[in-house]
Amino acid sequence: MHELSLAQAVVEAVAERTGGARVTLVRLEIGRLSGVVVESIAFCFDLVTEGTALEGAVLEVGEPPGRCRCRGCGTAFETGDPLVLCPACDGADVAVLSGRQMLIASVEVESACAAPAAARSTATPDAGPDTTTGSGPDPEAATGSGPGTNPDARPGTTTDPVAAGPSPSSSGSWPATTTSPSSTGRGWPGGASSRST
What residues are paired with 63 via a beta bridge?
A: none
DSSP summary character for residue 197: -
* Domains of the chain and any CATH numbers: 2-65+99-109 (3.30.2320.50)
Is the pTM higher than 0.75? The answer reads no
What are the tens digits of pLDDT across the range 97-132? Answer: 999 999 999 999 987 655 555 555 554 555 555 544
- Cβ pair 107, 101 in contact under 8 A: no
What are the tens digits of pLDDT across the range 141-154? Answer: 444 444 444 545 45
Pairing of strands 94-98, 76-79: unpaired
DSSP summary character for residue 77: E
Annotated binding residue 70 = yes
Predicted local distance difference test score (pLDDT) of residue 115: 53
Annotated binding residue 44 = no
Sheet (strand 58-62) strand order: 58-62, 23-30, 102-109
